[in-house]
Structure 1
Amino acid sequence: MGSVTFVCLSKSKKNNEFCVAGKVINSDGTVGGWIRPINQHGDINNHDCLYQDGSYAKPLEIIKIPLKKHLPKKFQVENHLIDESIYWVKKGDYNVAHESLMSLCDYPKALWSNNSQTSSGKNDQVSPEEATILNESLYFIYVGSIIFFTSRWNQEKLKVRAEFIYNNVTYNLKVTDLAWIEYFDDKDLGSYNKENTFLTVSLALETFGGFHYKLIAEII
């Protein structure tokens, strides 16, 4: 299949590996559609996203990756199988000015369906029946302000959620952005505000209790 260049808009926690995703950068510099590189196990590990100089791919880098084939699974139509034997190549850093990030944004009417939620979230899950008619699993949106909520039970790992309003609907979703989880790890538990915020929101393929969960995979 060859290779593709994309701007990385997510490198989030997925079990003990990563979920990496971004938007294709065409040869003329225009922005294309979403791509989620995966290995044969459906994830990305440290070896997969390694550059030849020994560093690792990060969000907001422009990256050239080797691909074998398009490998969609259910509504995750963005999945592409990588060639794990070839290094990824960093082509540069994406311009993080507000207008440049806005050029990457999606404008869905809603973040999939808003008919169910968990006890700790708001509009944070999609039923399997609703998922059968979906044909995308990633959005990059501008939401302005968000509120983080951090919690921890005894010695368990820190849990981070974030609440925001998009198209007049309130969402409260689990955060899987590793950088923000690490940022809050040694801070007091509670709530924190952030303004002028962009989010990569992902719909997980795996189910819990029969539902697919909406996740905040990247916070910029």
Structure 2
Amino acid sequence: MDKKVIILTKSDKNGGYCVAGIDTSNGKFIRLVSEDEESEYALFDSDITYEDGQCLKVMDTIYVKLKDKQDCWFQPENYIIDSEYYLKKIGTATLDQIKNYLTHQDYIFYNNSNSILTNELRKQLKKYSLLIVELDELNLWRDKFKEKRIMASFLYNNQRYSYIKITDSILTEKYYYEVCQSEPRPYTLNNVIVIFSLACVFNMNASHYKLIANIIEQPRRVGFRNIMF
């Protein structure tokens, strides 16, 4: 089967990439995965390179040939790519296009913690593992317990979220210096679109952690002041 997909994430995963976006045929999220069990089905450079040698980028609109839907109970958006075929880039999405696909859940993955226990996740009737939301403010902090990693906190739907991990190296490189310079205060981003992903189970505590897979900055909002004459 072929799918037309707007790519929203290309984040680090076990030496490869977690690649996800929007299936334009139905407006739903889709995560592109391989059949490599050892990497937890990550994609690699050979999977995301176009025929002309260019590599897939976030905001690319592509055609991708798929083998089948992956049987993954906690990530129902997963589809297995057919690695015998190149991806085909057909355009670049705009910010306005992406905002058409904003999601509106009560919580970021079922609760306002930074993770969810596997047992609790199994009880959920409608499972999902990808979200795209718009946040007025995203606060970034340096993770004191792991070298060169960033954590995020934010308010969503009147719920406060803290200690949300950012594991992607590109996002870390982009913001780490500013985060360190801002201490002890957080480094704050305003008016951003954030793509969240629910990770595979962390066996040490049988939990699925919530990750920020991408941050898309928007132009600053211009306020208006009353003018006195």
TM over 0.5, yes or no?
Answer: yes
Number of residue pairs aligned between Structure 1 and Structure 2: 204
The alpha-carbon distance between structure 1 residues 40 and 65, as it changes in their structure 2 partners (threshold 3 A), is: same
User: Which structure shows the higher helix fraction?
Assistant: 2
Is residue 8 of structure 1 aligned with residue 7 of structure 2? yes
Rounded to whole Å, the distance in 2 between the matches of 1:147 and 1:126 is 22
Residue 23 of structure 1 aligns with which residue?
22
More divergent stretch after superposition (5-14 vs 204-213): 204-213
Rounded to whole Å, the distance in 2 between the matches of 1:80 and 1:86 is 15
Counterpart selection for 1:164 from 138, 143, 154: 154
How far is the alpha carbon of 1:85 from its aligned partner? 1.7
Residue 182 of structure 1 aligns with which residue?
173
Rounded to whole Å, the distance in 2 between the matches of 1:188 and 1:202 is 22
The alpha-carbon distance between structure 1 residues 152 and 89, as it changes in their structure 2 partners (threshold 3 A), is: farther
Residue 79 of structure 1 aligns with which residue?
78
Rounded to whole Å, the distance in 1 between the matches of 2:122 and 2:31 is 19
| Maintained 8 Å contact 1:72/1:78 | no
Per-residue CA distance 1:147-188 (angstroms, 9 max, x = gap): 1112466xx741011111110111121013433212135556
Rounded to whole Å, the distance in 1 between the matches of 2:52 and 2:118 is 43
Helix, strand or coil at the partner of 1:110 = coil
Return the index of the structure with the highest Cα Rg.
2
Per-residue CA distance 1:23-78 (angstroms, 9 max, x = gap): 1112xxxx521111111111111110111111111111111111000113112111
Helix, strand or coil at the partner of 1:132 = helix
Helix, strand or coil at the partner of 1:179 = helix
Residue 211 of structure 1 aligns with which residue?
207
Residue 43 of structure 1 aligns with which residue?
42
Kindly provide the amino acid, as one letter, of the partner of residue 64 in structure 1: Y
Correspondences of 1:133-148 after superposition (within 5 Å): 133-134=123-124, 135-148=127-140
Residue 197 of structure 2 aligns with which residue?
202
Q: Kindly report the root-mean-square deviation, in angstroms, between the aligned alpha carbons of the 2 structures.
A: 1.8
Counterpart selection for 1:126 from 116, 119, 126: 116
Q: Identity over the aligned pairs, expressed in percent?
A: 28
Under a length normalisation based on structure 1, what TM-score does the superposition of the two structures give?
A: 0.86
Task: Structure 2 unaligned segments of length 5 or more: list them.
Answer: 217-229
Rounded to whole Å, the distance in 1 between the matches of 2:74 and 2:68 is 17
Per-residue CA distance 1:4-41 (angstroms, 9 max, x = gap): 01111111111211111111112xxxx52111111111
Rounded to whole Å, the distance in 2 between the matches of 1:48 and 1:157 is 30
Under a length normalisation based on structure 2, what TM-score does the superposition of the two structures give?
A: 0.83
